[in-house]
Every structure is written in structure tokens, then in C-alpha cells.
Amino acid sequence: MKNSRFMRFKLRTHLIIAVFALSAFSFLWIQKDVRQDLIVVHVDGSSKTQFKQVLYAYHFLNGSFTGRDELLSVQGKKEGKDYIRFDRGHNMIYKNRYLITGIGNIIDLQEKKVLFDGKAKLMRCSNDSAIFYTDDIFKGRFYSVYNFSNNTYGEVKELLFKTKYGRDVEFDKSTKPFKLLYFPAGKPRVQLLSDAGYGQVNEKDSYVPDPPMVWIDNDNFMFSHFNAGNTEVQFYKVNVDTKKSERIGSLDITGETGLAEIQSLNSDQVMFKLGNKYVFIDMESGTISEQEYTKPVNGFSFICKPDPKVGHTIKLYGNEIGKYHFDSQNFVAGSNIAGFVREMKIGQESYQQGLMVWNATRKKWEAVDAEEVLALIGWVNN
């Protein structure tokens, strides 16, 4: 009797061990390799007049670099004017496939071709569509939609179509300081402000970006007022109907480079970004506060103001994982992976030293050789 109970116990034990072993084997068997591409833009120095840009996919397997492929090359200038540019504003990747540049060009990363070479302001992406707004002295003011499902682009004919709050307001940059103008439908234009600042100083070429602005509701917006020396930016809340402007606060921007942008967090709160400055603005309470660390993306964040000797401190889920010099615009985080363009500082000058990529498997940063990078776009999962 005892032997029988012992045999049954022994059999159950072996069955349990076998089940655990099979489960462990199944877990290992179903684990898949993680393949990710870092999309990087370089400049072809042999074609300076056309400002030829070359788009590459740097391949990574489980966090380790395995090589790169050229996706396509495009002209940055055509007939002396901007054509397709990756160095103008914020680039984004939509649906793990479509690259939309800061000036509204669309690239299909899978088909390796340009889908839309026009210029317009991206308002939002929704399902299979990207919605743009054009405000051009020759073309006029209108909304347009690019449909990814059938690769068609067209102007929206519905007169009352709107993608969000706001009215037709624009900066008159023909004078210094800029003016802020409002164009009510069917009526003469209205000057809201005679002094809307001087915009950002741009030493590279004659491109003059619009100062970032954001709508609070259909009647009120906030904009960035840059002083003539580009040492300070002030934030003003403006009412379109009353033309009343209210100063929210100011920020020292001495020595900051790159294009400023405003990211909406909700109807009353935004994040203003310029160089190493990340500023949280609460428009309702009228307060601004500089951030010590960037908002985490996929767990990765870094200190906004770098140490002159060691650079930016980088964290992953709150834990420090390294200190390096890099331009804050050239840091992109994906799922369990991040990359940046490493720099070497000599006095006030910076020199690129290739890429650094976080290998989550080995839990360390690894160097990847790369020539001069124009723009680090982001990650694509394969």
C-alpha cells in the first residue's frame, strides 16, 4: 500500500517537472528576435546646390547593430527653393511606415519613395489620413488631406471644415518686429499686434520660421515672442476678438540653438522646447517652469541642461544609464532601445562622433560608426 502511494507521488512529481520543463522550453521557443531600424539622414556633400539628402535604415537585431541600407536620396532644394527637407522642424513616423517631415513632405519607408513633395503644416494624423493646412500668399489658405490607403492628396472643399480650435492668424514677417494678423472670413484683415517679436535667428540660411504658437480655444491662443537679440523669449496669451494680449512669462534662451516648438499636453498646458530648454507652461494659472529632465519616452529621459564636462545624464525608468554629450534634438527613443548622435566638445565647438545606441540585452551603450548626421528621425519596428 505504501509502495503504491509512493509510486503515485513519484509519478505526479515527474509530471509536474515535465510540465514546467515543457513550459520553459515553449517560452524559449516562442521568443522571437527583435528587429528594429533607426532612420537616419545624411547629406551628400557632392551635390551642394541641390542639398542632396540620403535616408538610411540602420538595422539592429536584439539591440546589436547589423548593418545599414540606403532607402532613397532626395533633393533639399529645387530651382533655388526648399523642396524636401529633413532639417526643418519636427519629423515624425506614422504607423511605423510613413515619414512626415517638418514642412509636410511624406516618405514611404517601406516602398522607399516620396508620396507627397508639397509643403504644408501637418495638423494631425487620423487612421489612414494626414490632415494639413496651407497658408500661402500664392496658393491661399485651405485644408488638405493625404489618404494613405489609396495614396491620394486633395484639398478639402467643405468651407466649414476644421481640424481643431483656431482661426486664420498669421505672422507678417516682412517687417521687424513681426506683426500678427487675423483674417476673418469675408472681411478685411485685422492687425492683432504691431510687435510680435523678431523670430529666431538662423545663421545657416535665409529660412525664417514662424514663432511657435498654440490655440487654447477658438478665441484665444498663445505665441512665443523672441527679442531682437534672441536672448529672451516671452509668452503671450492673445484674444482674437478683443485683441487683448496678456504676458504669461519669459525665458532666457542665450546660446540655445535649433528650432523652437510647442507641444500641446492639454487645453491649458504645453511644453515649449528650444535646444536644452524644456519649459512647462500652464496658461490658465499663468506660470512657466523649466524642467530638470525631459518627459520620459518609452522610459528614457535625460537631463535638460548638460554638465559642461560630462554632458547629459541619461535615465531609463529613473535609473541612470550613462552620461554623454549630444544635441537634445538628436536623441530618439524606441521600445527598449534609444539612440543619439555622440558629440565631442572642444571649447564652444561640437564635433559628431557617430551614433550611440542602448542595447537592452547587454544593458549598455554601444558605438555605431556614422558620417555626419543631418537628422535622427526615429525607430521603426520590423
Residue ranges per structural domain of the chain: 1-31, 35-119+294-381, 169-290
- pLDDT at 160 (0 to 100): 61
Highest mean pLDDT among 19-28, 192-201, 202-211: 192-201
Closest CA to 339 of 319, 316, 359: 359
For the cut 50, the answer to whether the pLDDT of residue 21 exceeds it is: no
For the cut 50, the answer to whether the pLDDT of residue 92 exceeds it is: yes
Could you tell me the end-to-end alpha-carbon distance of the chain, in angstroms, rounded to an integer?
Answer: 60
Q: How far is residue 146 from each of residues 94, 150, 152, 302, 377, measured CA to CA in Å?
A: 13, 9, 6, 35, 21
Q: What's at 264, amino acid-wise?
A: S
- pLDDT at 349 (0 to 100): 87
Q: How far is residue 367 from each of residues 65, 211, 243, 302, 340, measured CA to CA in Å?
A: 9, 36, 53, 18, 10
Cell of 164: 481643431
The dihedral built from the CA positions of residue 324, 328, 330 and 334, taken in this order, carries a sign that is: positive
Cell of 362: 547587454
Give the whole-angstrom CA distance, residue 89 versus residue 200. 13
Give the whole-angstrom CA distance, residue 306 versus residue 53. 30
Confidence of residue 353 (pLDDT cuts 50, 70, 90): very high
Confidence of residue 167 (pLDDT cuts 50, 70, 90): confident
Closest CA to 155 of 185, 126, 134: 134
- pLDDT at 323 (0 to 100): 98
Burial of 3 per CB tally in 10 Å (0-12, 13-18, 19+): exposed
Burial of 1 per CB tally in 10 Å (0-12, 13-18, 19+): exposed
SS3 195: coil
Residue 87 backbone class (left: φ over 0; alpha: ψ -120 to 50; beta: rest): alpha
For the cut 70, the answer to whether the pLDDT of residue 14 exceeds it is: no
Lowest-confidence segment of 28-42, 95-109, 134-148 by average pLDDT: 28-42
State what percent of residues in the chain have pLDDT above 70: 89
| 115-131 pLDDT per residue, tens | 999 999 898 898 999 99
For the cut 50, the answer to whether the pLDDT of residue 333 exceeds it is: yes
Give the whole-angstrom CA distance, residue 264 versus residue 270. 4
- pLDDT at 266 (0 to 100): 78
For the cut 80, the answer to whether the pLDDT of residue 157 exceeds it is: no
| 282-323 pLDDT per residue, tens | 988 888 999 999 999 999 999 999 999 999 999 999 999 999
Query: Which residue do the cell numbers 500661402 mark?
Result: 136
Confidence of residue 257 (pLDDT cuts 50, 70, 90): confident
For the cut 60, the answer to whether the pLDDT of residue 140 exceeds it is: yes
Interacting residues of 77 by C-beta distance below 8 A, sequence separation 6+: 49, 50, 51, 83
Q: How far is residue 304 from each of residues 291, 292, 313, measured CA to CA in Å?
A: 7, 6, 9
Query: Do the beta carbons of residue 53 and residue 44 sit within 8 Å?
Result: yes
Query: Do the beta carbons of residue 222 and residue 248 sit within 8 Å?
Result: yes
Average pLDDT in the chain: 88
For the cut 80, the answer to whether the pLDDT of residue 106 exceeds it is: yes
180 or 8, greater pLDDT: 180
Please provide residue 282's backbone torsions phi and psi, each rounded to the nearest 5 degrees: -105, 105
- pLDDT at 268 (0 to 100): 80
Lowest-confidence segment of 29-33, 106-110, 118-122, 144-148 by average pLDDT: 29-33
Please provide residue 12's backbone torsions phi and psi, each rounded to the nearest 5 degrees: -60, -40
Query: Which residue do the cell numbers 478639402 mark?
Result: 156
Mean pLDDT in residue range 221-235: 95
Give the whole-angstrom CA distance, residue 288 versus residue 247. 11
Confidence of residue 20 (pLDDT cuts 50, 70, 90): very low
| pTM across the whole model | 0.82
- pLDDT at 28 (0 to 100): 39
For the cut 90, the answer to whether the pLDDT of residue 96 exceeds it is: yes
